[in-house]
């Protein structure tokens, strides 16, 4: 209970708790009748529960090493689900019906859980910063969440810039989709929309997100090397 009260006193931890609740009550998979896909909500999906429990562990566990491990576990679950959707879009059941890209299949709950991950990372990085040192091995683990290695090193504005760039590229890739449920629900639509002339903008934005994520890690390495060593 003490740790829960402490989490509720932290705006980023509180936002993480709100985000994972939204993930549980939002669509985790979407209904696309043409490919025989039915909708499920987050609370119906074991993968969503794994992500939610990992984010909760990152926020609520008192031990910082365990909090960091939970944070990385949440990221691995979310990356794995995104990769699954990207692969699923290439299978014959989907590709024969529409020029799908995986972003078309990533549903609202995934984004809510991803924001929960970002807020949890902010809470964990803040707890590390309160130790008033230059950062140890945890810096590199936190750097796996774009920008938060820099937040750990007290370069908050610089780190959050990378976070915003990665998140914006992913959201814009979804905006480019004519069927993505984050911005336009297709639940119950009998027919798919007309195919777009090209899906190149989606791929460019996804590539930009990956590039920004890598650049945030490189920036973390550069900043850490410039800090005085004990």
pLDDT one-digit tens code per residue, 14-50: 899 999 999 999 988 888 877 878 888 999 999 999 9
Query: Where residue 211 falls among pLDDT bands split at 50, 70, 90?
Result: very high
Please tell me the predicted confidence (pLDDT) of residue 71.
95
| Residue-number span of the structural domain to which 19 is assigned | 2-226
Please, which residues have CB within 8 angstroms of residue 206's CB and are 6 or more apart in sequence?
101, 103, 169, 170, 173
Please, which residues have CB within 8 angstroms of residue 20's CB and are 6 or more apart in sequence?
51, 52, 55, 56, 112, 113, 116
CB-CB contact of 147 with 139 (8 Å):
no
Please tell me the predicted confidence (pLDDT) of residue 225.
83
**pLDDT > 90: what percent of the chain?**
53
Mean pLDDT of all residues belonging to the chain: 87
Query: Where residue 206 falls among pLDDT bands split at 50, 70, 90?
Result: very high
Token representation of residue 32:
């696309």
How far apart (Å, rounded) are the C-alpha atoms in residues 228 and 185? Answer: 52
Q: Which of 68, 80, 64, 156 is nearest to 114 (CA)?
A: 80
Q: Is 55 exposed, middle or buried (0-12, 13-18, 19+ CB in 10 A)?
A: buried
As a whole number, mean pLDDT of residues 52-81 equals 93
CB-CB contact of 74 with 90 (8 Å):
no
Q: Which residue has the tokens 């999906």?
A: 45
> Would the pLDDT of 107 be above 70?
yes
Q: Which of 51, 33, 176, 44 is nearest to 104 (CA)?
A: 176
Q: What's phi and psi for 41, nearest 5 deg?
A: -95, 165
List the beta strands (DSSP E) in the chain. 27-29, 40-41
Q: What is the pLDDT of residues 140-199, one digit of tens each?
A: 899 999 999 999 888 889 999 999 999 999 999 988 888 776 665 555 556 777 888 888
Please tell me the predicted confidence (pLDDT) of residue 191.
72
pTM for the model stands at: 0.88
Please tell me the predicted confidence (pLDDT) of residue 136.
78
As a whole number, mean pLDDT of residues 119-140 equals 83
CA dihedral 195, 196, 201, 205 (to 10 degrees): -40
Please tell me the predicted confidence (pLDDT) of residue 36.
79
> Would the pLDDT of 135 be above 80?
no
Domain count, the chain: 1
- How many residues appear in the chain? 230
Please tell me the predicted confidence (pLDDT) of residue 207.
95
Residue 190 CB neighbour total at 10 angstroms:
7
Token representation of residue 125:
């990085």
User: Apex CA 85: angle with CA 84 and CA 89, to 5°?
Assistant: 115
Query: Where residue 3 falls among pLDDT bands split at 50, 70, 90?
Result: low
Between 186 and 61, the more confident residue is 61
């Amino acid at each position: 209970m003490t740790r829960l009260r402490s989490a509720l006193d932290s705006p980023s931890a509180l936002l993480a708790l709100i985000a994972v609740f939204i993930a549980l009550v939002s669509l985790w998979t979407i209904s696309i009748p043409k490919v025989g896909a039915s909708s499920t909500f987050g609370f119906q999906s074991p993968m969503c529960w794994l992500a939610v429990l990992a984010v909760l562990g990152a926020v609520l566990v008192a031990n910082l090493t365990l909090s960091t491990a939970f944070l990385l576990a949440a990221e691995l679950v979310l990356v794995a689900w995104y990769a699954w959707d990207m692969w699923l879009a290439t299978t014959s059941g989907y590709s024969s019906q529409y020029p799908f890209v995986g972003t078309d299949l990533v549903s609202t709950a995934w984004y809510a859980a991803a924001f929960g991950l970002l807020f949890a990372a902010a809470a964990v990085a803040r707890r590390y910063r309160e130790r008033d040192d230059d950062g140890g091995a945890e810096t590199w683990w936190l750097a796996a969440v774009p920008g938060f290695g820099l937040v750990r090193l007290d370069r908050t504005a610089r780190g959050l810039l990378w976070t915003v760039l990665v998140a914006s590229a992913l959201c814009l890739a979804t905006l480019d989709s004519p069927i993505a449920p984050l911005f336009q629900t297709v639940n119950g639509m009998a027919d798919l929309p007309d195919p777009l002339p090209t899906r190149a903008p989606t791929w460019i934005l996804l590539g930009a997100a990956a590039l920004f994520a890598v650049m945030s890690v490189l920036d973390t390495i550069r900043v850490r090397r410039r800090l005085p060593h004990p």
